[in-house]
Structure formats: structure tokens, C-alpha cells
Amino acid sequence: MPLIRATGLVDDPWLSVPEEEPLPEAGAVIVTLARWQANRDQLAARPTPLGLRLKSDQPPSLIAGDIERFDIIALEFPKFTNGRAYSSARLLRERYGFRGELRAVGNVLRDQLAFMRRCGFDSFEIPPQVDAAAWLSSLGGISVVYQPATDERASALTLRHGAPEGQGRGDARAHSRDPVAPTRSTATRVG
Amino acid sequence: MYRYDNYDQTLVSERVEQFRDQVNRRVAGELSEDEFKPLRLMNGLYLQLHAYMLRIAVPYGTLSTVQLRKLAEIARRYDKGYGHFTTRQNLQFNWIRLEDTPDILAALATVEMHAIQTSGNCIRNVTADHFAGVAGDEIEDPRIYCEIIRQWSTFHPEFSFLPRKFKIAVTGSPHDRAAVKVHDIGLRMHRNEAGEIGFEVLVGGGQGRTPVIAKTIRPFLPKRHLLSYLEAILRIYNQLGRRDNLYKSRIKILVDSVGIDRFTQLVEEEWQQIRDGYLDLPVAEIERIRGFFAPPPYRTLDAPVPEYEGALRRDFRFARWVRTNVTPHKRPGYAIVTLSLKPTGGIPGDATDAQMDAVADLADRYGFGEVRVSHEQNLVLPDVAQADLHELWKLLETLELATPNVGLAGDIIACPGLDYCALANARSIPVAQQISKHFSDLTKLLDIGELKIKISGCINACGHHHVGHIGILGVDKHGSEFYQITLGGSADENASIGEIVGPSFGATEVVDAVETIIDTYLHVRADGERFLDTYRRIGIKPFKEKLYAAH
Amino acid sequence: MTLQVVTANRLGDGRVVFLADGYRWVEEIGLAHVGDTDEAAKALLAIAEKAAADRIVVAPYLIGVSAEDDRIMPTRYREVLRALGPSSHPEFGRPPSATAAVHR
């Protein structure tokens, strides 16, 4: 599936491994929650970067303690009307301090990208054969936002009065770091 | 009232262009109907039986005369010369073309109006007391907080794809004219022991398939925590609300299934994490918005007003109208006037473009340029000098806006029903018309007294039948229209859900059934008892017996 | 013999339309192409679905009709209202019209 970020179409260095398929011995893989929970130690010991894929009914609190293990978390939108992952994304960023890549997968629609971005997503799996450039133009959305969200865009509230107490607590609404290149990397994480 | 600054205007104007682009993409085939539908719903555009229906937001039921005139213009130019005021204080046009909608939204944007989030699984129009700012029992104008919530909820990136629609109402008075107890979130402003004003937060109320009275989640919430607390509630709902069954996805189902105690715990846990942070509501913003709701330049008048008192004595018909359609104002010498959109035999809540223009003129001449929409589908002129009432009344009579039936059996609330709505099972408008004609005798109406009859054409309860003193629900039985009657519902601070009285009635039997119910009440009422009081005293049995005795 | 016609709403203006001969969409139910067998009805619906894909109409579906007194009328009351207009506003309605002969 094509992948876009704010910068444009990008290659996808990750391999998302469905539950029933065997895991390659090495390489950057995204695993399901069930696989992670069943094979935590082996997966944590892999020398290559690791990602996690959560279904819409799998709350991020389940892996809060293991956030540092993942360079990418993919959140599923089983149907575009199911907006649970917007909350999961915000919690991953703001509550659990996730700094890796946050990817929207599943039934992702062009007119939702701006909302997703504001909730902390930074990459989006889009259907094949769509006009990626057109989709990207929707990322910006409307230039004024009324409410604060994960993306730290200044809300109208802030612009009118200045930031209320507590806003701009940097680590509370961390952006992702640059995407991790899927080469051999140490287990030690930056930041 | 609130006036847009550059930020508000930019948002609305950009939204118009965004929707125009979405319409173009739909027409060009880049968007399927399935993909386009949520987008058009988030701009209040439904596809109904006969055409597209556009639901325009009237935030907390407040309109300027400039806005009302623009609505009249839209009715003329893009619709069939009329509009329908709804039970959530909005306005609906029934004959809209998709192709015209971007231009209509652009026209609305020129007068600081929109149709944003009047449909879809998002936070809808925040409704309020239609007497806000002028009611004698008001603690604080709830519209200040409605506007704050409106902004916070508009294009909220996390809460635009909720399990289902979400409705919030705010009352600033102990007497609840906003029906907060049958909303997903209800906010009741009141003072705590220290004399500070804050909100009782209620959650999980609603009508529809499973009517529920809201429960208190927090007895007192200080103002600064308003947005963070709402965010916590919405986040819990967004995460845990059911997504598998359309009929079980409102927050009331969630609250019922986990219980109010557990639900409160979940919300409070989430709230502890986000309170005192960037969602804190600055006093500066409250004061900025309060400035827009400052009292207009009232004259200092003496009450009683001799011309007014004189007219009351001389003109019996005027006095009759005052009794039902005029409410005391908090300023001496002023009055609140309800314009009945329920002429005998008419369609409840409908107004022609000519009437809208005329009401705008009257609001300018006899007020301060403001009109209200009540969730009981009437209009309100909130600031009329008592000295002007007689003259105003005569003008309203020529406009058919002075039927002296507000709050009486003729003041029927009805959804559009099967005549218009794709969701309906039965028609509601003809039933309303028949009941209205049957009880056209104004003396009899006054004798019956306060009686709220509410009619819905389907289980979605847009006519609010669950909270009608007499509620009527249209159902489809073997392809025919039948009507189920409930009794004893109420939407105020003593809210209650109506009880089903028995098997449903055919279309030709409903009016007689309502007559039997009213006769039963008249026969047994105690002195000064309204219908609802009598019902609460004697229960449903006497009504059941009378209704089904002959069958 | 179950008679059916295809109805939909036109995309651009939302108006109620019926599938007539020659892939046309008409506002008068009397001009609708009536299918009197299941196969005929299915064939009509297939044509309609192509029109939906071509963005002429939205959500076409089959409705049952009767053809008494040379007049086509839907059997379901909801569809009568769609065909004739709201009972509350007869001035916006369409009078029932005589039918063309029932097509095979």
C-alpha cells in the first residue's frame, strides 16, 4: 500500500506481518499485539527495529510500559467511521510519550488526514491508485484550529490570549523523531 | 451576541471552499456516495425523501436580524420560500439541491453562519435556554459557555468520528428550559456553597430507541475545568462506545452498561491526567465572550406601564395572548414575547420567507436586533418594552404569529415525519394539524391549561415525544400508519420519560384518543393541577381504562 | 405478477426519479419502465446501478407498484409520498399521472 508523510510519497521500509504468518528471522517488522504478548522476550531481543500494530479495540494502555521498544506503531481504522484510533494516537503521544512513527492504516480517507495529523499521526497508508499529491494537499486542512491537540498548532484560544498555564510542556506533546532507518540499530533509544 | 473575529471567519470561509471541493470531487466521481456521505453530513446536508435537506446551525438558538434576513433570502432563492425550525434550535430547508449547497454555505458565511456539524457522528449544535440573558431566574447566561463549547468542539480532530451523534445542552436557570436531562451531556449552572458559579455535569441522557434521563457525574465543576472535563468524557466515549450496533452506540448505552459509578471513575481518571493543562479555560476568554452577551442598552423604565395595563383591561384578546405568549423579563418594563409558529391547523415550526423578514423587522423595531429559536419550535423576541406590546401584538396577528397557544395543547411539537424524512415510519404533520384543529377553541385550550403534546414519526424521537406530557410516536404496522401514545413525559428539571399507555391507534383514531385523555384529566383534576400534575398524582391506569374501555 | 419499477434520487438536486425507457430518469412515475418479472426487475436495477456509478443518481432500488385503472402507484405508502410529494404540502406535489402500457 502506498505510504505518505507530510513530505510526500515515501517508501515503506517496514514489513507488516499478519498473525498467521511466520516471522522472518531478521528485518524491520511490525507485529500484532497478540504476537508481541506471546513472544515478548524473543521480539525484544531482535537486533532489527520493531513495530507494533494495534486494532481499534486494543487500547494503548496495554503496551504503555513497553513504548520504548517500538520504533513504529500502526493504528488500525477498520472502517473510516470508527474513530477510536484518534484517541489512541493522542494517548500514545501525550500520555505515554511515544516518539516513534505513528502510522494510520486501514480505511483511511483523504478528508481525514488533517484530523489524523493533529492527533499525532505522521504517516498514512493510502489506497493504491489515488492521486497522492491531491491527498497531500488535504493534510493541511483548515488554517485555523479552535482547540489544542497533539500537534501543538496554536489554537485560536492561544492566539487571542497567549498560552494558558501548562501549554507547551514540551515532552507532554512530543512530536515524533525522524523516522528510524531500518538498519541494524542498537536497542538503546535516543531521547 | 457573539460576533466572529478573523479566526472564526477564516475557519468558516475555508470550510465553504473545502466543501465546494468535496462536492466537485463527488460530482466528478473521485468520491463514492459512501465516502461523500459523512462529509456532506458534517455540513448538515441530508438526502431525504424528496430532495436534499440542509440543516443550518443556529448556535444556542440565537439569531441576529441580519442572519434571519439571510435565511429568508436563502428560502426564497434556493428553496420553496419557507424553512422549518427544529427541536434543537436549528433551521432546516427541505428542497435543497446539492449543486447549490456550496453557494448557500458561502452566503451563510457572509453573515457568520454555517451548517457545520449539524449532522454526523460528531458534537452537534450546543443548545440553550431560549430565554437566556433575559429570564428572571437566570444565574448566568449559558450562551457564553455554549459558544466556548461550540468552538472547542468544531473540527475537533479526535472527536469527529464518534460512535454516534453527540448532543450537549446548557441551562443557566434552575428552571430548565433547555432539556439538559435528555442530552448526552447536560450542564446545569448553579452556585456552590461558597457562592461560586459552576456546572453540574450530567451525562448519558437521551431519547430515541432507549430513552434515558441523564445522571450526575459531577455535582460541581468550576468553569476553568469545563473543556478539560468535556474532553475526558468524550475521550472515554470515543474509546469505549459501541461501534458494532447503530442502536447501541450512544453514550447513554455506555453509561448504562458500565454503570454511572464506573463511568464516573473512568472519566475522573482520564481527567486527572489532562486537567490544569492546555485545556484550562482562561478567564480572559470567558470575559471576551461574556462581552458579546452583555445586556443591550435597556431604557430605565418604570413598571407597571400604564399603556400596557390599560390595554390589558380594555382588550380581552390582547390579554389572552399576553397570558400565554408573553413571559416576564428580568428588566422592569420589558417583556419576553414568544411568536407562535403553531397556527391552528398549521405545520408546527414552519415559517415563510415573508414571515422571517417580518420578524426581523419587528426585532429591529421592538427589540435590539435579536431573535431566539426555542426547541419547542417557536421564535422569541427577547426584549420588548411592555409599552410596545399591544402594537406588536396587532402586527403579529397580521403575520399569523400571534396564536395565543404557547404552552397549551395547540403548541404542538412535531418532527417533519414521513412527509419529508427518509427515516420516518409514519407521518406526524397531519396528526399535529388534526389535533390543532380539534382543539382550536381558545377558551377550551386555556381551560385545559399547560399541555405539551409532542409527535415523532419514528423511534429516533426528533419530535421529543418521550418528554411530551402526551407523546405520540408514529409506527408502521403492516404497512399502515399507527400511533403509540405515551403519557407523563417532561423535559424540565423534573424530567421524566413518558409511559406507553397501551396498544397503538390508527390514524383516524388518534385525535379521539387524545380527546379521551384530556377529558379524563379534566374530570379528575384537582384545583390548579396541570395535566402533568394530575397524571403524576393518579398514574396511567385511569387513562388506560378510559382509552381501551370501548375496545 | 409483481410489478416493480426502479426509483432513486438524482445526485445533483436530490429529486425523486424513476427509471424510464432508454436509460432516462423521469420525475413522473407514470412514465417509469415497469418490470413484471424478477429478471426484468433485476435488469432494470442493473441499469440503474450503472447510472449511480456514473453519478446521475444516488442509491437506486426497486419498489413494488400496482397498475390499477391504468395508473401506476407504489404499493408502499412511503413510496407514494415520494412519487406524489409530501401530503403536508400538496402545492409541491406531482399529480398522479396515467401510465404508459406496462412494459415487459
Evaluate whether A181 touches A28 at the Cβ level (below 8 Å): no
On whether the CB atoms of residues C18 and C28 are closer than 8 A, the answer is yes
- Average pLDDT for residues B59-82, to the nearest whole number? 98
Confirm if A181 and A103 have CB atoms less than 8 A apart.
no
- Looking at residue A164, its pLDDT comes to 54
Tell me which residue in B49, B98, B418 faces C13 most closely, judged by beta carbons. Answer: B98
Q: Which residues form the domain of A85? A: 3-173
Cell 468520528 locates to B161
Using DSSP, how many helices (H) and how many strands (E) does chain A show?
Answer: 6, 8
> pTM, whole model, 2 decimals?
0.94
Q: How far apart are CA B352 and CA B346, in angstroms?
A: 12
What pLDDT is attached to residue C97? 63
Task: Say which residue the cell 500520555 belongs to.
Answer: A95
Nearest chain C Cα to B52, which residue? C14
pLDDT for B506-528, tens place per residue?
A: 999 999 999 999 999 999 999 99
d(CA B152, CA B417) in angstroms, rounded, equals 32
What the block records as the C-alpha cell of B41 is 453530513
* Res. A110: pLDDT tops 60: yes
pLDDT digits (tens, 9 = 90+) for B361-418: 999 999 999 999 999 999 999 999 999 999 999 999 999 999 999 999 999 999 999 9
Provide the CATH number for the domain around residue A152: 3.20.20
Helix (H) / strand (E) containing B225: none
Q: How many CA atoms lie within 13 A of C8 on its CB side?
A: 27
A188, part of any domain? no
Topology of the domain covering B134-288: Sulfite Reductase Hemoprotein; domain 1 (3.30.413)
Cα B480 to Cα B425: distance, rounded to the nearest angstrom: 9
C11 CB within 8 Å of a chain B CB: yes
- B504: distance to nearest CA of chain C, Å? 19
Domain boundaries, chain C: 3-92
Q: What is the DSSP letter of B471?
A: E
Q: Which fold has domain B413-548?
A: Sulfite Reductase Hemoprotein; domain 1 (3.30.413)
Residues of A with CB under 8 A from a CB of B: 56, 59, 80-84, 86-88, 90, 95, 109, 111-112, 114-119, 141-149, 156-157, 159-161, 163-169, 172
Does residue A191 form part of some domain?
A: no
For B306-398, the fitting CATH number among 3.40.630.30, 3.40.50.1820, 3.60.20.10, 3.90.480.20 is 3.90.480.20
Q: Nearest Cβ partner of A109 from B15, B35, B285?
A: B35
Contact B419 C59 (CB under 8 A): no
Is B10 part of the contact surface with chain A (CB cutoff 8 Å)?
yes
DSSP letters, C3-66, are: EEEEEEEETTT--EEEE-GGG-EES-GGGSPPB-SHHHHHHHHHHHHHHHHTTSEEEEEEEEEE
Cβ contact (<8 Å) for A87 and B158?
yes
Average pLDDT of chain B is: 97
Distance CA(B79)–CA(B97), nearest Å, equals 9
Yes or no, beta carbons of A166 and B235 under 8 Å apart: no
In a domain, A78, yes or no: yes
State whether B157 and A86 contact (CB < 8 Å). yes
Structural domain spans, chain B: 6-109, 134-288, 306-398, 413-548
Burial of A36 (0-12, 13-18, 19+ CB in 10 A): buried
The tens digit of pLDDT for each residue in B276-315 reads 999 999 999 999 999 999 999 999 998 788 999 999 999 9
Same fold, B134-288 and B413-548: yes
Specify if A186 maps to a domain.
no
CB contacts of A97 in chain B (<8 Å) are: none
B touches C, CB cut-off 8 Å, minimum 3 pairs: yes
SS3 B205: coil
In a domain, A189, yes or no: no
* Residue type present at position B269: E
Distances in Å between the Cα of B165 and the Cα atoms of B34, B47, B84, B460 are 18, 17, 21, 12
Which amino acid would we find at residue B324?
T
User: How are beta strands A72-77 and A50-54 bridged, if at all?
Assistant: parallel
Across the interface, do A142 and B121 touch by the CB < 8 Å criterion?
A: no
Contacts 24+ apart (CB under 8 A), B508-516: B510/B431, B510/B434, B510/B435, B510/B472, B510/B483, B510/B485, B511/B431, B511/B434, B511/B435, B511/B438, B513/B483, B513/B485, B513/B547, B514/B435, B514/B438, B514/B453, B514/B470, B514/B472, B514/B485, B515/B438, B516/B543, B516/B546, B516/B547
Q: Is B44 left (phi over 0), alpha (psi -120 to 50) or beta?
A: left
Q: Domain B6-109 is in which class?
A: alpha beta
Mind listing the pLDDT tens digit for each residue in B109-150?
999 999 999 999 999 999 999 999 999 999 999 999 999 999
Distance from CA of B146 to the nearest CA of A (A): 14
Q: Decide if C76 and B80 are in contact by the 8 Å CB cutoff.
A: no
- Grid coordinates belonging to B147: 459558544
User: Structural domain tally of chain A?
Assistant: 1
Q: For residues C99 and B532, give the distance between their C-alpha atoms in angstroms, rounded to a whole number.
A: 53
Q: Does C15 touch chain B (CB under 8 A)?
A: yes
Cell reading at B356: 422571517
